[in-house]
Amino acid sequence: MNVLIVEDEKGLALEIDEFLSHEGFTIEHAHTKNVASEKIFVNNYDFILLDLTLPDGDGFDLLQMLKGLKDRDDAIIILTARGAVDDKVHGLEQGADDYLAKPFSLNELLARMHAITRRKHKLESNDITVKEFRINIQNRTVHYNLERINLTKKEFEIFNYLVLNKNRVISRTNLTEHVWGDVLEINSDSNFVDVHVKNLRKKLSQFEPIEWFETVRSIGYRVNI
């Protein structure tokens, strides 16, 4: 999953980056409101971590702008130094998904992010299952019944994203955006998505046939039920 960190304090931004990268997220940064708004226009994000006090203006504007866009469902988590209850209420009213007051623990942030994922996809726990396969989004593990399947980072991200969006066709562009990050930087006449999908399928199909993991020719992939 991809994350945009909108934060001008570079030390904090880097700290979050390091931590979340380690947890398997793809990170992008914006140190100002302007850079952030350009990035938001150009990409879709799974999460936007938004500091409210930015050098070139108030973060609330970004929030409002984002809420004005159609067909987006980036989750927004507000980060701010202000302990002000007003900001919190105001932020959540404007449509933010959660709120963290600085200083906060990185594990707390991660826990909130997982909670949002569960809410967004209407999951009851950290486990998602497809047939006998079980994905745990918190531990980033996949099991077949009791047996652990070792997936690489990219394989896990692809599987996770397709399963979270089950029964929908996910185009290669969409998959690329969420697993690899910034679409514009990517050489698209490459077949790296196909290769990872192939390797993933190989690992999964050791356990049982995976006819539910379809290719939708000329569009992308779809995981059914």
Partner DNA sequence: GTTACAACTTAAATTAATCGTAAAATTGCC
Partner DNA sequence: GGCAATTTTACGATTAATTTAAGTTGTAAC
Which residues of this protein are in contact with DNA, per CB under 7 A? Answer: 150, 152-155, 172, 180, 187, 190-192, 194-199, 201, 215-220
Tell whether residue 89 is a contact of its own copies (CB under 8 A).
no
Residue entry with tokens 């350009």 = 38
184 contact, one of DNA, its own copies, none, CB 5-8 Å limit per kind: its own copies
Tell whether residue 191 is a contact of its own copies (CB under 8 A).
no
Nearest-angstrom CA–CA distance, 193 and 103: 38
Q: Which residues neighbour 170 within 8 Å (Cβ) at sequence distance 6 or greater? A: 161, 162, 220, 221, 222
70 contact, one of DNA, its own copies, none, CB 5-8 Å limit per kind: its own copies
> Is there a contact between 80 and 53 (Cβ–Cβ < 8 Å)?
yes
Tell whether residue 194 is a contact of its own copies (CB under 8 A).
no
Q: Which stretch binds its own copies (CB under 8 A): 64-72, 86-94, 116-124, 192-200?
A: 64-72
Q: Which stretch binds its own copies (CB under 8 A): 53-61, 116-124, 172-180, 193-201?
A: 172-180
Residue entry with tokens 């987006």 = 72
Residue 67 to residues 55, 63, 96, 121, 164: CA-CA distances in angstroms?
A: 22, 6, 9, 19, 23
Of 152 and 205, which CB lies nearer to its own copies in the complex structure? Answer: 152
CA 86 to chain centre: 28
CB 218 → its own copies: shortest distance, Å?
A: 5
3-state secondary structure of 203: helix
Of residues 110-149, which lie at the interface with its own copies (CB under 8 A)? 111-112, 115, 139-141
Tell whether residue 199 is a contact of its own copies (CB under 8 A).
no
Strands 2-6 and 26-30: parallel
**Residues of 36-45 as b/e, b for ≥16 C-beta within 10 angstroms?**
bbebbeebbb
Tell whether residue 186 is a contact of its own copies (CB under 8 A).
no
Nearest-angstrom CA–CA distance, 40 and 48: 9
Query: Which residue from 169, 182, 203, 207 is in contact with its own copies, where contact means CB under 8 A?
Result: 169
**Binding site residues, its own copies, CB under 8 A:** 15, 18-19, 22-24, 38, 40-44, 69-72, 101, 103-108, 111-112, 115, 139-141, 152-153, 168-169, 171-174, 183-184, 188, 217-219
